[in-house]
Amino acid sequence: MGKKRILVSLMLAACWFLSSQAFAIDSTRTVLPNGLIVLHSENHNLPIVMVTLIVRAGQVHEPGEKAGLANVTAELLSEGTKARSSKEISEALDFIGASLGISAGADYTTLTLSVLKKDIQKGFDIFSDVLLHPSFPQEEITRVKELIKGSLKHREEDPSFLAGRAFRKEVFGTHPYGRLMEGSAETIDFITREDMMQFHSAYFLPNNAILSVAGDLTPEELQGMLQQYLNEWKKAVVPLTVFGKPAGKPGRSVLKIEKDLTQATLMLGNLGIRREDPDYYAVSVMNYILGGGGFSSRLMRSIRDEKGLAYDVQSFFAAQKESGYYQISLQTKNESANTALAEIITQVKRITAEPVSDEELSEAKSFLTGNFLRRLDTNRKIADFFAAVEFYALGLDYRTNYPGYINAVTKEDILRVARKYLSAEQYVLAVVADQKKAGLQYPEK
């Protein structure tokens, strides 16, 4: 049975390649004299334009005692510029039905603009203004810091937030990836207006950024806009950041957090891989089979489908620029915590002990290669995709190369990466639960 199925899916995979050719989604790449990388995907099927700008200014660039600096800087960009107040910015954007998103991440800050073609000039005018001329008004800083602290408190209502915060801190130790993007109430208080202004002028540079545009815009129109709005953006030397390597956690760490809840939230994992690690594709296939593949994954089939223990269970590898982590998580009623944990451990043991089946391998490859198209089926996704491809240096032909990377993965590769990154003995486990009811058999570290 296994063999027949492989044949079928290989055949179908071939068809998919053929059919995808009719819809070439491409991007041009230009480097401007000021160092800004510009990616452009022209699609005139709808009168909309999607802009994504990535600036290498993230959590990894902020000092530990000022954790949250990248985040609060990002939040402040749209809260006032030299020419516009916070209210004027939101009023102008709302009036044209545009949306501006600004968010800091572990490695970079992203600015996105979604706007109708007819309003692109107005939209891009504001977009460039918040990018180049934020004024960081003190009263807005005070207000936004209070909002962030308030929302941190609010999020403590969410057991996954509590588990994730404890989990990443334990996995990454003092490495920036171990902190919350928002920092903590204490570190937020340390951040000053000068810190933000410095952070902005040091990192928000054209030679430190990638601009990706998709939608109803010709190269000439784009050229004109860059000339008009980003011409004054000047190249400068980007400060050198020395990245430490996270040490990782030897042995087993069990973190228990008490909360009066009906369910236990379990989060188990450890350090993972960098996005640019050559193992990335073998890990993608392995993770699909273990717990990334929804209803096709082993964890889901066993824990949800067969045992009815949880609504959702999944594993994922967060592969970031400098490092990464993997995590297996689920929620189950307190009383089932031990049973569910035992099953997670069983599945980790199994995938590190024996090769996956031919059928599992071929199904995983068919999904990952076939579903890849879906990652490019809207203008928003296209703009984001090409920006990320550039950031991780995957190459403009990544879209056509990806299926090859996935199809090259063998059963041996999968066993090798499973053994390299997963362990049934060494891991960090965070458990948020009514601990008495959960009665976890593992003692705390």
Partner 1 sequence: MKYFGLLFTLVFFLVSGNAGASDVTEYTLENGLKIILIEEHKAPVVTFQVWYRVGAKDEPAGRSGLSHLLEHMMFKGTPKYGPSVLSRTVQKNGGTDNAYTTKDYTVYFEMLSSDRVALAVELEADRMQNLTLDPKETASERNVVMEERRLRYEDDPQNALFEEVMAAAYKVHPYQRPVIGWMSDLKNIEREALFKYYKTYYAPGNAVIVVAGDIDGEEMMKHIRAAFDDVPRGPESEAVMSREPDQRGERRVILKREAELPYVLMVYHTPSFPDEDSYALEVLNGILSGGKSTRLYQSIVYDKKIALAADADYSGFSKNPYVFFLAATAAPGKDIKDVESALLLEIEKIQEIPPSEREVQKAKNQIESSFIMGQDSIFIQAMKYGTFEMLGGWKLIDTYVEGIRKVTAEDVMKVAKKYFHEENRTVGILVPEKKVKSEE
Q: Site residues for partner 1, window 263-322 (CB under 8 A)? A: 263, 293-296, 301, 304-312
**How many residues belong to the site for partner 1 (CB under 8 A)?**
76
Looking at residues 384 to 413 of the shown chain, list those that interact with partner 1 (rule: CB under 8 A): none
Burial class (CB in 10 A: 0-12, 13-18, 19+), 310: buried
- Say how far apart CA 378 and CA 203 lie, in whole Å: 30
Nearer to partner 1, 289 or 428 (CB): 289
Nearer to partner 1, 89 or 271 (CB): 89
Question: What does 52-105 look like in DSSP terms, one character per residue?
Answer: EEEES-SGGGS-GGGTTHHHHHHHHHTTBBSS-BHHHHHHHHHHTT-EEEEEE-
Nearest approach in angstroms of CB 160 to partner 1 is 9
Of the candidate residues 95, 401, 408, 445, the single one contacting partner 1 (CB under 8 A): 95
Residues in the chain: 445
**Binding to partner 1 by residue 47, rule CB under 8 A?**
yes
Looking at residues 163 to 222 of the shown chain, list those that interact with partner 1 (rule: CB under 8 A): none
Nearest approach in angstroms of CB 184 to partner 1 is 14
What sections of 99-137 are H helices per DSSP? Answer: 120-132
Nearer to partner 1, 8 or 31 (CB): 8
- Tokens at 155, concatenated: 């999020």
Nearer to partner 1, 94 or 189 (CB): 94
Of the candidate residues 199, 326, 367, 427, the single one contacting partner 1 (CB under 8 A): 367
Q: Please name every residue paired with 327 in a beta bridge, in sequence order, or none if there are none.
A: 269, 316
Nearer to partner 1, 262 or 410 (CB): 262
- Say how far apart CA 384 and CA 405 lie, in whole Å: 21
Nearest approach in angstroms of CB 387 to partner 1 is 17
Strand, coil or helix: 250:
coil
Half-sphere exposure of 86 (CA within 13 A, CB side): 12
**Binding to partner 1 by residue 58, rule CB under 8 A?**
no
**Binding to partner 1 by residue 9, rule CB under 8 A?**
yes
- Say how far apart CA 288 and CA 295 lie, in whole Å: 10
Nearer to partner 1, 39 or 376 (CB): 376
DSSP, res 320: -
Nearest approach in angstroms of CB 410 to partner 1 is 18
- Say how far apart CA 87 and CA 126 lie, in whole Å: 12
Nearest approach in angstroms of CB 43 to partner 1 is 7
**Binding to partner 1 by residue 64, rule CB under 8 A?**
no
**Binding to partner 1 by residue 65, rule CB under 8 A?**
no
Nearer to partner 1, 148 or 209 (CB): 148
Instruction: Give the largest Cα separation in the chain, rounded.
Output: 69
Label each residue of 16-35 as H, E or C: HHHHHHHHCCCCEEEECCCC
Looking at residues 112 to 151 of the shown chain, list those that interact with partner 1 (rule: CB under 8 A): 114, 116, 143, 146-147, 149-151
Strand order in the sheet with 48-55: 28-31, 37-42, 209-215, 48-55, 109-116, 99-104
Of the candidate residues 32, 36, 48, 266, the single one contacting partner 1 (CB under 8 A): 48
**Binding to partner 1 by residue 373, rule CB under 8 A?**
yes
